[in-house]
Amino acid sequence: MLVRYGKTKDGAAVKRAEIYTKQEHPIRRQDIDPDAVSIILRLKAAGHTAYIVGGAIRDLLVGKVPKDFDIATDAHPRQIKRLFRNSRIIGRRFRLVHVYFGSKVIEVSTFRSLHAVGELNQYGTIHEDVLRRDFSLNALYYCPVEEMIIDYVGGVKDIHSKVVRPIIPLKQIFVEDPVRMVRAVKYSAMLGFSLPFFTRRMIQKQAPLLAECSHSRLTEELFKILGSGSAAITLKDLYSHKLLRYFLPQLDLRLRENKNDFSDRFFRTMEGYDRSNPELEERDRGLVALLKDYLEDLNREQRDVPLLFKDLYVAAKAFLSPLSPPNRDVDQAVMMIFRETRPKKPRRRRRKKAKALTSELPETPSEPVPV
């Protein structure tokens, strides 16, 4: 293992990062999306540094197949845009570049500064960027050219120890961004990792902060959970950490009431959905699994008067509140459930038409007409 050193203000050498060579980790260049590799090669050719970063490296180290590959670089968004005609700058709070390959999108971000405030786009060095990331398992940088992992915060060791460790101080991390509480529980559930004791305590203490979060960000996080293949265990852990009451309050209420064993039925449905290898893009399927038991219970409670589609749709929107999934996805999900739950009408038998009898009558010779 190599070590990268830096200097303090006094000029003394200080250890900055541990570098794992390709003999010391299982990731190979062929594991990386070739389009992501091509972006890095072009950035490097233009004189920039660039790395695969975050969840893709984490997933490859634990033996999972990444669903996307993000890139971090020292190039500014305008510089990236000039290099890639198939790209677009997005975001206001912090600008990113999306590079398009057909329907696939690869996100390229500039190293962030530790001193960025509010809406300002302040860029920094890789040493600052790593300290802006939430957990050590998401703060690894991989160079597909040299096939090395650069680890500034002990993330490789934490992955081997199966622990979700925050990088930002506990007093600051969840106040700064409450959605990180959901992400911490998600990583713990999805990977089978543990959360340190004081991290768990802080989550339970600061859970109400989640109610103040952007509904669109929470909705995005829900779809990531539904597409992870670990939705059942993640939602169960969010419930046990008392986060679900601020994330999906109606689901939390149903689980607490547990009418007609709702909890067992709901988690059985979610486990079955997880086994179906869900994809992040199939949002309506995820919503079907989430809503199915609740809407079926509502329909059953009506007994003689089954609910109409519009009634189920309104109930589904209320159940998902305060989250705001696209109306189209909710519409498709409710329609699938509606078709399964509405009573089947008996099909009318068609009466067969009587066959023509002319063919059965004997032919009679025509008589001559008298003159």
Q: What is the pLDDT of residues 29-49, one digit of tens each?
A: 999 999 999 999 999 999 999
Residues in the chain: 371
Q: How do the residues of the chain divide into helix, strand and coil, expressed in percent and rounded to 5?
A: 50, 15, 35
| Cβ atoms of 113 and 121 closer than 8 Å | no
Q: What is the CA radius of gyration of the chain?
A: 29
CA distance 266 to 253: 13
Q: What's the pLDDT score for residue 166?
A: 96
Q: What's the pLDDT score for residue 6?
A: 62
Which of these, 203, 294, 187, lies nearest to 244 by C-alpha position? Answer: 203
| Cβ atoms of 284 and 333 closer than 8 Å | yes
What's the Cα-to-Cα distance from 140 to each of 127, 203, 353, 368, rounded to whole Å?
12, 24, 75, 107
CA distance 51 to 141: 6
How large is the angle between the packed helices 283-302 and 249-257, nearest 10 degrees?
Answer: 50
Phi and psi angles of residue 46, each rounded to the nearest 5 degrees, phi first = -85, 5
- Rounded to the nearest angstrom, the gap between the alpha carbon of residue 76 and the centroid of all alpha carbons in its chain is 27
- Token pair of 214, please? 């952007």
Instruction: Quote the pTM value.
Output: 0.84
| Cβ atoms of 75 and 50 closer than 8 Å | yes
Provide the β-strand partners of residue 362: none
Domain ranges for the chain: 1-161, 169-342
| Cβ atoms of 137 and 58 closer than 8 Å | yes
Strand order in the sheet with 2-7: 2-7, 13-20, 148-151, 140-143, 50-53, 70-73, 104-110, 96-101, 87-90
Architecture of domain 1-161 in this structure = 2-Layer Sandwich (3.30)
Classify 101 in phi/psi space as left (phi over 0), alpha (psi -120 to 50) or beta.
beta
Give every residue of the chain whose pLDDT is below 70, as ranges: 1, 3-15, 115-121, 304, 341-371
Q: What's the pLDDT score for residue 369?
A: 47
Burial of 164 (0-12, 13-18, 19+ CB in 10 A): buried
| Cβ atoms of 223 and 195 closer than 8 Å | no
CA distance 267 to 290: 9
Which of these, 321, 228, 235, lies nearest to 275 by C-alpha position? Answer: 228
Q: DSSP per residue over 295-319, as a string?
A: HHHHHHHHTTSPPPHHHHHHHHHHH
Taking the CA atoms of residue 219, residue 224, residue 225 and residue 228 in that order, the dihedral angle to the nearest 10 degrees is: 170
Pairing of the two strands 96-101 and 13-20: unpaired
Q: Which residues are catalytic?
A: 68, 70, 134
Q: What's the pLDDT score for residue 53?
A: 96
Q: What's the pLDDT score for residue 357?
A: 46
Enumerate residues 6+ apart whose C-beta is below 8 A from 13: 5, 6, 7
For the domain covering 169-342, report its CATH number. 1.10.3090.10
- Token pair of 48, please? 């920039």
H or E element at residue 72? strand 70-73
Enumerate residues 6+ apart whose C-beta is below 8 A from 141: 51, 52, 53, 57, 72, 126, 130, 149, 150, 151, 152
